[in-house]
Protein backbone atom coordinates (compact mmCIF):
# COMPACT_ATOMS: atom_id res chain seq x y z
CA UNK A 1 0.00 0.00 0.00
CA UNK A 2 1.27 3.45 -0.92
CA UNK A 3 0.88 6.50 1.27
CA UNK A 4 1.40 10.01 -0.05
CA UNK A 5 1.83 13.34 1.67
CA UNK A 6 2.43 16.64 -0.05
CA UNK A 7 4.53 19.55 1.13
CA UNK A 8 3.16 22.68 -0.53
CA UNK A 9 5.26 25.45 -2.01
CA UNK A 10 6.44 26.82 -5.33
CA UNK A 11 7.86 23.35 -6.05
CA UNK A 12 5.52 21.06 -4.11
CA UNK A 13 7.00 17.76 -2.95
CA UNK A 14 4.99 14.54 -2.99
CA UNK A 15 6.49 12.16 -0.41
CA UNK A 16 5.90 8.48 -1.14
CA UNK A 17 5.94 5.71 1.47
CA UNK A 18 5.26 2.01 1.04
CA UNK A 19 4.86 -0.01 -2.14
CA UNK A 20 4.65 1.50 -5.60
CA UNK A 21 2.78 -0.95 -7.85
CA UNK A 22 -0.33 -1.22 -10.00
CA UNK A 23 -2.66 -1.08 -6.98
CA UNK A 24 -1.58 2.47 -6.16
CA UNK A 25 -1.85 3.96 -9.67
CA UNK A 26 -4.93 6.08 -9.00
CA UNK A 27 -3.72 7.37 -5.63
CA UNK A 28 -0.30 8.31 -6.99
CA UNK A 29 -1.72 9.97 -10.07
CA UNK A 30 -4.22 11.97 -7.98
CA UNK A 31 -1.56 13.13 -5.50
CA UNK A 32 0.94 14.22 -8.14
CA UNK A 33 -1.62 15.95 -10.36
CA UNK A 34 -3.11 17.76 -7.33
CA UNK A 35 0.38 18.96 -6.38
CA UNK A 36 1.02 20.10 -9.96
CA UNK A 37 -1.99 22.43 -10.08
CA UNK A 38 -0.55 25.91 -10.32
CA UNK A 39 3.03 24.71 -9.78
CA UNK A 40 6.00 25.28 -12.04
CA UNK A 41 7.55 21.94 -11.10
CA UNK A 42 6.77 18.95 -8.88
CA UNK A 43 9.22 16.94 -6.78
CA UNK A 44 8.56 13.26 -6.08
CA UNK A 45 10.43 12.00 -3.00
CA UNK A 46 11.01 8.23 -3.02
CA UNK A 47 12.90 8.03 0.30
CA UNK A 48 10.31 5.81 2.03
CA UNK A 49 9.44 3.53 -0.91
CA UNK A 50 10.19 -0.04 0.14
CA UNK A 51 9.11 -1.76 -3.08
CA UNK A 52 8.59 -0.83 -6.71
CA UNK A 53 7.83 -3.05 -9.68
CA UNK A 54 7.54 -2.49 -13.42
CA UNK A 55 3.92 -1.33 -13.05
CA UNK A 56 4.90 1.29 -10.48
CA UNK A 57 7.77 2.36 -12.68
CA UNK A 58 5.43 2.68 -15.65
CA UNK A 59 3.08 4.85 -13.61
CA UNK A 60 5.95 7.18 -12.70
CA UNK A 61 7.16 7.37 -16.32
CA UNK A 62 3.64 8.20 -17.54
CA UNK A 63 3.27 10.92 -14.89
CA UNK A 64 6.57 12.48 -15.94
CA UNK A 65 5.62 12.50 -19.61
CA UNK A 66 2.06 13.74 -19.02
CA UNK A 67 3.14 16.59 -16.76
CA UNK A 68 6.02 17.58 -19.06
CA UNK A 69 3.52 17.89 -21.92
CA UNK A 70 1.54 20.28 -19.67
CA UNK A 71 4.64 22.37 -18.94
CA UNK A 72 5.19 21.07 -15.40
CA UNK A 73 8.45 19.12 -15.12
CA UNK A 74 8.89 16.43 -12.47
CA UNK A 75 12.04 15.90 -10.42
CA UNK A 76 12.75 12.65 -8.56
CA UNK A 77 14.75 12.67 -5.36
CA UNK A 78 16.00 10.35 -2.62
CA UNK A 79 15.84 7.09 -4.59
CA UNK A 80 16.61 4.15 -2.29
CA UNK A 81 18.80 1.38 -3.76
CA UNK A 82 15.82 -0.86 -4.61
CA UNK A 83 14.13 1.93 -6.58
CA UNK A 84 17.36 2.97 -8.28
CA UNK A 85 17.99 -0.66 -9.29
CA UNK A 86 14.58 -1.08 -10.91
CA UNK A 87 14.84 2.31 -12.63
CA UNK A 88 18.27 1.39 -13.99
CA UNK A 89 17.12 -2.04 -15.15
CA UNK A 90 14.09 -0.55 -16.95
CA UNK A 91 16.11 2.40 -18.33
CA UNK A 92 13.82 5.02 -16.84
CA UNK A 93 16.40 7.79 -17.34
CA UNK A 94 16.28 7.17 -21.09
CA UNK A 95 12.47 7.28 -21.09
CA UNK A 96 11.93 10.45 -19.04
CA UNK A 97 15.24 12.27 -19.45
CA UNK A 98 18.23 12.90 -17.25
CA UNK A 99 16.77 16.22 -16.07
CA UNK A 100 14.23 14.33 -13.94
CA UNK A 101 17.14 12.99 -11.92
CA UNK A 102 19.31 16.13 -11.97
CA UNK A 103 19.47 16.36 -8.17
CA UNK A 104 20.57 12.74 -7.71
Q: List Cα–Cα distances, 15 to 8, 82, 95, in angstroms.
A: 11, 17, 22
Burial class (CB in 10 A: 0-12, 13-18, 19+), 43: buried
Q: What is the CATH number of domain 2-101?
A: 3.30.750.24
Domains of the chain by residue range: 2-101
What kind and span of H or E run contains 48? strand 42-52
- Mean pLDDT for the stretch of residues 66-79: 96
pLDDT tens, 42-63? 999 999 999 999 999 999 999 9
Taking the C-alpha atoms of residue 86 and residue 72, their distance in angstroms, rounded to an integer, is 24
Q: Beta strands 2-7 and 13-20: pairing type?
A: antiparallel
Q: What is the pTM of this model?
A: 0.94
Amino acid sequence: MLQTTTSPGPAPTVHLAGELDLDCADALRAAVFAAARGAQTVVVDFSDVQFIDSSGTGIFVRLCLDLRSQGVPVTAQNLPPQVRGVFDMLRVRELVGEEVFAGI
